[in-house]
Structure 1
Amino acid sequence: MTASTQFWTHARLTGLLLFLVTLTHMAGFQIANSFAVPGNFAATGLKIAQNEGLYRLALLSYGVSSIFSVALAVTFALWLAPISRLGAGLVLGWRLFEAISSTVAWAIRFALVDNQTQPNLLGTPGAEALHRVLRDVSNAAFDLGAIGLALATLIGFFILFQARSLPRLLSAIAILGAMLILVSSVVTLGWPATDIPSSIAFAVTLLSNLVIGLWLLVRGDRSSEAKVLAQQA
């Protein structure tokens, strides 16, 4: 397989995995969020108990997203390597950090299901206190994962922006979303009580990832500069 063919293949695989990671993440988020009753532990637990299978499916969807993120980290790095080996290494590292952090967060969420739905020796107040502590740990892991995602996205799509491997508008939107996620996640991690809206940041990033994933899956990387770099490598 020639360098240019590998470049094309890695771009398309990155597009496929980016689309799958984003889709499974969005599905899990929307389903899990539909069970949440803000500030009411008992009501949330009751809703989960009434349809526990669907709730566990949502958590599983997040887990699948994290697994796909590992493969995405590898293909994204392989795609970027002919352009910037340093950048590819940083993207790989931050993407793997994001996948590990997210997996830890969702493992804690899985463990909390029984705490919400089953009788607990601690009683309702104790179960609620335990839930609050573990949920705070889970949220911190999510914030760390989001920071890793943002840094990987900033580095990766800045490289693609310079190389014109994608339409520059798509790269710019991805960079903007990553900057918003980075700021909101750092603030939330450092000051948990801060009520900073992060939904817009994630919406911009997730929607742009869907579009970019489809673009790469269909078009691949056809930029002349990228092909020259790949052939030289």
Structure 2
Amino acid sequence: MTTRQQFWTLARLTGLLLLIVTLTHMAGFQIASRFVIAGDFAATSAKIAQNEGLYRLALLSYGASSLLSVGLAVTFALWIAPFSPLAAGLVLGWRLFEAICATVAWAIRFAMVDNQITPNLLRQPGAEALHQVLRNVSNAAFDLGAMGLAFATLIGFFILFRARLLPRLLSAIAIVGATLILGSSIVTLGWPDTPIQSSMAFAVTLLSNLGIGVWLLVRGDRSQQAKLLAQQA
């Protein structure tokens, strides 16, 4: 395989993994959110108990997204490494940090299911109090993971923007989404009672990821910089 083909292969593999990670994350969120009734522990527990298998499948989809993001981090870092080895290392490190935090958060969410739907010695008041503690811990892990995702995206897509490895509009949208995620995650982590909507930030990022994933899967890396590096190699 030539160096130019390697660039194209890494770009397409990055696009494929980006699509899979984004779609599994969105599927998990859409399914799990239907079970949650804000502020009502008993009603949420009853809905989960009615279809526990589907709820666990949603959590599993979330977990798969976090684990697959490790592969995405590796291919993305390898793709941009010729343009900036330091940036590639930082992207890989922050994405691994994100994967670890998200995996811990989803492990806690799995543990919360039994506490919600299975009778235990704590009874409902104690179970609800434990649920709140576990939820706060998992939310903090999610916020930390989201910050890791934001830093990795800002660094990686700045390199893509500067090197024109993608249409600059796509890179710019990804950077805007990452900036919004970073800001909202810092606020919710430091001041959890602050009424702030982070769904818009994640919506921008997820939708841009779908567009970028499709672009890379179809086009690969055909930038002038990649061709130049291939010629130099």
Q: What TM-score do you get using the length of structure 2 for normalisation?
A: 0.98
Aligned counterparts of 2:229 and 2:198: Cα–Cα separation in 1: 37
| RMSD between aligned residues | 0.8
Q: CA deviation at 1:67?
A: 1.3
Partner of 1:86: 86
Instruction: Spell out, residue by residue over 1:38-69, the C-alpha distance to the aligned partner (whole angstroms, 9 max, x if none).
Output: 00000000000000010000000011101110
Partner of 2:195: 195
Partner of 1:153: 153
Partner of 1:4: 4
Partner of 1:128: 128
8 Å contact 1:17–1:72 — kept in the other structure?
yes
Q: CA deviation at 1:207?
A: 0.3
Q: CA deviation at 1:226?
A: 2.4
Q: CA deviation at 1:230?
A: 4.3
Aligned counterparts of 2:195 and 2:230: Cα–Cα separation in 1: 46
Q: CA deviation at 1:211?
A: 0.7
Aligned counterparts of 2:143 and 2:227: Cα–Cα separation in 1: 36
Aligned counterparts of 1:78 and 1:230: Cα–Cα separation in 2: 14
Partner of 1:76: 76
Aligned counterparts of 2:200 and 2:229: Cα–Cα separation in 1: 36
Aligned counterparts of 1:99 and 1:226: Cα–Cα separation in 2: 29
Aligned counterparts of 2:123 and 2:230: Cα–Cα separation in 1: 62
Aligned counterparts of 1:232 and 1:199: Cα–Cα separation in 2: 44
Aligned counterparts of 1:57 and 1:78: Cα–Cα separation in 2: 32
8 Å contact 1:92–1:152 — kept in the other structure?
yes
Aligned counterparts of 1:87 and 1:229: Cα–Cα separation in 2: 17
8 Å contact 1:21–1:65 — kept in the other structure?
yes
Q: CA deviation at 1:120?
A: 1.4
Aligned counterparts of 1:136 and 1:231: Cα–Cα separation in 2: 53
Partner of 1:23: 23
Partner of 2:102: 102
Aligned counterparts of 2:22 and 2:98: Cα–Cα separation in 1: 14
SS in 2 for 1:64: helix
Q: CA deviation at 1:5?
A: 1.4
Partner of 1:185: 185
Partner of 1:224: 224
Instruction: Spell out, residue by residue over 1:53-112, the C-alpha distance to the aligned partner (whole angstroms, 9 max, x if none).
Output: 100000000111011101001000000101110000000000011011100000000011
Instruction: Spell out, residue by residue over 1:10-42, the C-alpha distance to the aligned partner (whole angstroms, 9 max, x if none).
Output: 100000000000000000011111100000000
1:113-124 equivalences under 5 Å are 113-124=113-124
Q: CA deviation at 1:231?
A: 4.1
Partner of 1:138: 138
Instruction: Spell out, residue by residue over 1:146-186, the C-alpha distance to the aligned partner (whole angstroms, 9 max, x if none).
Output: 00000000000010001101000000000000000000001
Count of aligned residue pairs for this structure pair? 233
8 Å contact 1:82–1:230 — kept in the other structure?
no
Aligned counterparts of 1:185 and 1:214: Cα–Cα separation in 2: 27
Name the amino acid aligned to 2:30.
Answer: Q
Partner of 2:211: 211
Q: CA deviation at 1:198?
A: 0.4
Name the amino acid aligned to 2:172.
Answer: A
Partner of 1:36: 36
Partner of 1:169: 169
Aligned counterparts of 2:214 and 2:67: Cα–Cα separation in 1: 20
SS in 2 for 1:83: coil
Q: Which moved more, 1:223-232 or 1:35-44?
A: 223-232
SS in 2 for 1:130: helix
Q: CA deviation at 1:229?
A: 2.7
Aligned counterparts of 2:75 and 2:180: Cα–Cα separation in 1: 25
